[in-house]
Structure 1
Amino acid sequence: MAITVDASGDLSPEEQKRLKADLHRSLFRNKVRACLLVAPLVVFILVTFVAPIGNMLIRSVEDPQVNEYMPLTSAALQDWDGQELPDEAIFAALAQDLIAGRESKEIGKAATRLNYESSGMRSLIMGSARKISRIEPPYKEALIEADKDWADIDNWKVIKRLSSPYTTSYYVAALDMETSPDGEVSFVPENQQIYLKLFWRTLWMSMLITAMTVLLGYPVSYFLASLPVKKANVLMILVLLPFWTSLLVRTSSWIAMLQSQGILNDLLVWLGIIADEQRLQMIYNALGTVIAMTHILLPFMILPLYSVMKTVPPSYLRAARSLGANPWTAFWQVYLPQTIPGISAGAILVFILAIGYYITPALVGGQSGQFIGNLIAYHMQGSLNWGMAAALGVMLLVLVMGIYGLYSRFVGVNNVKLG
């Protein structure tokens, strides 16, 4: 349709409206096209990132076992004041739950959950479930006669506290604290504390590994950046070569190198640096974890450093030298400040990877070189305490986000560059 104009050369009102409508339609089509292009990425992020984190958050506070597998007891205890032993009605509800749970073979799930909170509860629940077919009313006297622990009011307080479908007890335990039967929270004795020490060990060892990769990666990156492009590309293959080898193989090779009868100790003995009976223990401890993880994560520091260093013109250093600066002053005041973005990017990348590492500490860390990720894996695969694993995972996530927030506050996201 042709566009008509009036005598003054302006578009008529109808034409203006039609052009605006066409413009809106064109913009809308562009927005729809852009949304369709990013939709697969959004779905991927939701499925692989947001959904697992959401599920972890829910599991860390979800506690349905007692409420689901001992429903009558949970409901009956809601009005119990906790001052004296429950009455016959509550004991009868317990007996009915034991009968139903034994028939369905699911009472053990509630017993296991109660045992996490109070040692001995599983034996009490399962033992009573095996005897319940021979127990007759009145249930209060019969159950106490079958197991005197039913006369312990603290056991009933634990059952009542865990009868809610949601709980904070996993976070309490993850902070090395315990809840008394009366609901008071306090720290466990220091010799029984595990999680806070592991969090601290994970934090400082990750920082140490990050610092080691900076110290080792900076001169390597500087050397690569100072070479001609062809030579640098050939040597960069050596940096990327570890990525072509399985992580498990690389970690296992460090076991062969660092053990008491390994290659490194044999070399030190052959050179006369140490005696044969004084071989160093460099494996199954924190030292082994630091060495192996520094080697594994070093390429993640070299790559961003090299990318940033390639953008620094060599003429800057020559200009500083021509103005009277010595080599150290030229490097410290001219070259290093321009490579800070690469150091920042490499440091945050290596640190986040290190703090959540699992395989390497599990293989070479021993008892003193384990990270919090290893304990999370234990609760997932060994103890099957998924609620505890989820709580530890959430705390690790909060710790990483907090450190990133401080990093962004003092270093600045704008100073993090990859080239």
Structure 2
Amino acid sequence: MASTEGVIKEPILAADGTPLKQALRRSQARERRAAFFLVAPLLLFILIVFAVPIASMIWRSVYNPEVRNFLPQTASALQQWDGEDVPPEPVFQAMAADMIVGVENRTIGRAAARINREIPGARSRMMRTARAVDEWSAPYSEKFLEADERWADLEFWRLLKRETRLITPAYYLLALDYEYTAEGEIRPRPEVYQIYKSLFWRTAWMSMLITGICILLAYPISYLMATQPTRIANLLLILVLLPFWTSLLVRTSAWIVLLQQQGVVNELLVALDIIDERGRLRMIYNRTGTIIAMTHILLPFMVLPLYSVMKTIPPSYLRAAKSLGAHPFRAWWRVYFPLTIPGLAAGCILVFILAIGYYITPALVGGDSGIFISNLIAQNMQGSSAQLKLAAALATILLAAVLIIYWVFNKLVGVDKLKFG
């Protein structure tokens, strides 16, 4: 038997003479680079249009530089204050220096307005003092207290110290109807001011109700379309898609015409003697109007996934179940319905996520009782810097809630099982 000792194994070479393993690694690297460059435009688009704005929104909701930028020396001096007694002379001296600069740059009013949101009357006190402080000399603490005894108010100075922190959770607490007090404590806001939490709950349950109504309406429509001949099914599909050919604003405005007290629906009910003139129904500028209009707008998003799944279910399944003795409803429930769950789940997630962030329809037909949290976010977006931060906090909480719902849905149903078309 020949011995293999001393035999040198030659490496397998590619056509160009390089080792095969090395050539294979180079080939795979080229393929990975080519794949990356193919998807790079999409990644860049998602980064610019989606990731960066969301990151900016989250950062804006906790970043609080305004008061610190307008009163920098006061902010620095307050870091050494323990909050237990009236601030020492260096704090008053720093405040006087910041006020002199603030009057020259016309920025003191913005800092005073921010403090005034939580301590009414603080703005007038600060502005009145700022106009006179350039004529004072040390000791400044005595001059401040002589001008207004409220400069000894510990709550004011504690609030000022809190507001000079660059990172603050105050707007998230406010979005959840809690207060971040000047002493740094967290407590529920008075009930009369608790509006955000109730709006979150209203948005959630109305979105679930709209989703449920869409299921009840979409299931028979989708079933009818799936069981009809192709020509009729296509005609019905066109009717389902017809609302997409008109503007969302036009569709919502049409419901105002239909549902108002002098509108088509009430006029028809009066003509049929179902109601009298004094009993006209109020179906607009309330929750009823929001539910009706949003159900109409979101219904196609439930019909299309259901129809796409039902179209693939052979009719012979139901016939086989009935031939084996099953009641028609039992055959439908045990055989047909489970096969439609991927489309039903896809429709539910589409309708619910779209509904929970809807803005135009609740704004036009919702009135005071039918608006969503998105309407309050939009309202705060048009306000001051503090309102912008509150809007960012509300939007971030809404985004987090949607992601949690999506995660739970994925655990219970499985996103990989969904069929959107």
Calculate the TM-score normalised by the size of structure 1: 0.93
**Offset of 1:79 from its aligned partner?**
0.8
Structure 2 unmatched ranges of 5 or more: 1-8
Cα distance change on mapping 1:320 and 1:49 into 2, 3 Å: same
1:404 aligned partner, one-letter code: Y
Greater than 6 Å deviation, 4+ residue runs: none
Correspondence for 2:64: 63
**Offset of 1:198 from its aligned partner?**
0.6
Cα distance change on mapping 1:369 and 1:34 into 2, 3 Å: same
What are the equivalent positions in structure 2 for 1:139-158 lying under 5 Å apart?
Answer: 139-158=140-159
Count of equivalent residues: 409
Correspondence for 2:226: 225
Q: Secondary structure at the match of 2:345?
A: helix
Correspondence for 1:352: 353
**Offset of 1:244 from its aligned partner?**
1.6
Deviates more, 1:116-125 or 1:373-382: 116-125
Correspondence for 2:396: 394
What are the Cα deviations for residues 263-288 of structure 1, in whole angstroms up to 9, with x where unaligned? 11111111111111011111111111
What are the Cα deviations for residues 150-200 of structure 1, in whole angstroms up to 9, with x where unaligned? 121210110011111110111111111113332221112222211110110
What are the Cα deviations for residues 133-156 of structure 1, in whole angstroms up to 9, with x where unaligned? 454543223223333321212101
Equivalent-residue separation in structure 1 for 2:247 and 2:129 (angstroms)? 51
Deviates more, 1:96-105 or 1:142-151: 142-151
Equivalent-residue separation in structure 2 for 1:391 and 1:341 (angstroms)? 34
Deviates more, 1:143-152 or 1:282-291: 143-152
Correspondence for 1:102: 103
- Conserved 8 A contact 1:178-1:186: yes
Correspondence for 1:3: none
1:410 aligned partner, one-letter code: L
Correspondence for 1:80: 81
**Offset of 1:121 from its aligned partner?**
3.0
Equivalent-residue separation in structure 1 for 2:113 and 2:229 (angstroms)? 65
What are the equivalent positions in structure 2 for 1:1-20 lying under 5 Å apart?
Answer: 12-15=10-13, 18-20=19-21
Equivalent-residue separation in structure 1 for 2:131 and 2:284 (angstroms)? 48
Aligned partner (choices 406, 410, 413) of residue 411 of structure 1: 413
**Offset of 1:228 from its aligned partner?**
2.1
Structure 1 unmatched ranges of 5 or more: 1-10
Cα distance change on mapping 1:348 and 1:18 into 2, 3 Å: same
**Offset of 1:383 from its aligned partner?**
4.4
Correspondence for 2:372: 371
Q: Secondary structure at the match of 1:183?
A: coil
What are the Cα deviations for residues 350-392 of structure 1, in whole angstroms up to 9, with x where unaligned? 1001001111111111111111111111111134411111111
What are the equivalent positions in structure 2 for 1:5-404 lying under 5 Å apart?
Answer: 12-15=10-13, 18-384=19-385, 385-404=387-406
Equivalent-residue separation in structure 2 for 1:305 and 1:158 (angstroms)? 55
- Conserved 8 A contact 1:135-1:143: no
Equivalent-residue separation in structure 2 for 1:127 and 1:376 (angstroms)? 34
**Offset of 1:128 from its aligned partner?**
2.8
Q: Secondary structure at the match of 2:13?
A: helix
Correspondence for 1:5: none
Cα distance change on mapping 1:76 and 1:21 into 2, 3 Å: same
Identity between Structure 1 and Structure 2 (%): 56
Q: Secondary structure at the match of 2:120?
A: coil
Equivalent-residue separation in structure 1 for 2:248 and 2:125 (angstroms)? 46
Equivalent-residue separation in structure 2 for 1:21 and 1:234 (angstroms)? 60
**Offset of 1:339 from its aligned partner?**
0.4
